[in-house]
């Protein structure tokens, strides 16, 4: 049989574990709500689709053509540069694994250095995306409200 002090310590430990689990759940809900409420991912994919002249559905699909994959890498790059989203979060939006997202970012950076055509299309997509939001760095829903107040 546990002493009263041991029982109290065990209870405190259980409560702290429950609080930590609750905090993780709330954080996941907040991240999902950010994606759902802002439409940022939709705007980024739409901007890239316009710059590349492709249907937006191709960017989230399984198409593997060069133009489509380059456009997808550009969309991933824009989402990583202009949001505070994690790689898995960007992967969920683009129907890709987080390792594929990492590869897409690296590939976009190499293509920008190598190809002027890719860099100009990416610049156009960034311009379209930033014009939609009227800011250059998206972080979270609270920043949207702050920008609207200014």
Decide if 89 contacts 35 (C-beta within 8 A).
Answer: yes
pLDDT in tens, 5-60: 888 889 899 999 999 888 888 877 666 545 443 557 788 889 999 999 998 888 88
Where do the structural domains in the chain lie, given as residue ranges?
1-38, 39-149
Decide if 103 contacts 47 (C-beta within 8 A).
Answer: no
Return the exposure string of 111-129: e unless at least 16 CB atoms fall within 10 Å of the residue's CB, then b: bbeeeeebeebbebbbebb
Cα separation of 131 and 55, whole Å? 20
Q: Give me the percent of the chain exceeding a pLDDT of 90.
A: 34
pTM for the predicted model, two decimal places: 0.63
Please count the residues of the chain. Answer: 150
Cα separation of 27 and 22, whole Å? 9
Cα separation of 134 and 14, whole Å? 46
Overall CATH class of domain 39-149: mainly alpha
């Amino acid at each position: 049989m546990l002493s009263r002090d041991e029982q109290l310590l065990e209870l405190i430990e259980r409560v702290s574990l429950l609080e930590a689990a609750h905090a993780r759940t709330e954080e996941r809900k907040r991240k999902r709500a950010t994606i759902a409420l802002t439409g940022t991912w939709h705007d980024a994919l739409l901007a890239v689709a316009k710059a590349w002249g492709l249907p937006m559905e191709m960017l989230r699909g399984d198409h593997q053509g060069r133009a489509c994959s380059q456009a997808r890498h550009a969309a991933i790059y824009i989402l990583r540069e202009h949001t505070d989203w994690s790689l898995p979060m960007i992967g969920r939006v683009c129907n890709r694994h987080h390792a594929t997202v990492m590869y897409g970012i690296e590939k976009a950076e190499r293509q920008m250095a190598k190809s002027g055509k890719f860099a100009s299309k990416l610049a156009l997509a960034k311009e379209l995306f930033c014009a939609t939001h009227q800011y250059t760095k998206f972080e979270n829903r609270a920043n949207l409200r702050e920008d609207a107040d200014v």
